[in-house]
Structure 1
């Protein structure tokens, strides 16, 4: 999936908004008993790498991506 959004804010403000959004997403309670485990994120220049495990019962998958 590719999501692109233009903004009219400084690089620091845009980075803060992305950080806050991803933090909220990783803490959110999802329907149907899906849980988020082992969330991680790191920045390298203007790219943020993130990953987490989405689990329900004994079934799970790792979701990862890069935001630039």
Structure 2
């Protein structure tokens, strides 16, 4: 593995035999870190957003299947 820092980015070079599914999981985590690095949201904010999203998804699910 080679790790290199340039002016604008960090480059990671891995051998071709690295498992792509495991690498994708790592990249997803790094994308999450990149997207949340400057966030001012608290854990409480994230929990509330998650709660509201779950309610909304469940309501949409019930509506599509005529569940009361």
TM over 0.5: no
Q: Greater helix percent: which structure?
A: 2
**Higher Rg of the two aligned structures:** 2
**Which TM bucket (shorter chain)?**
0.3 to 0.5
Q: TM-score, normalised by structure 2?
A: 0.34
Q: TM-score, normalised by structure 1?
A: 0.34
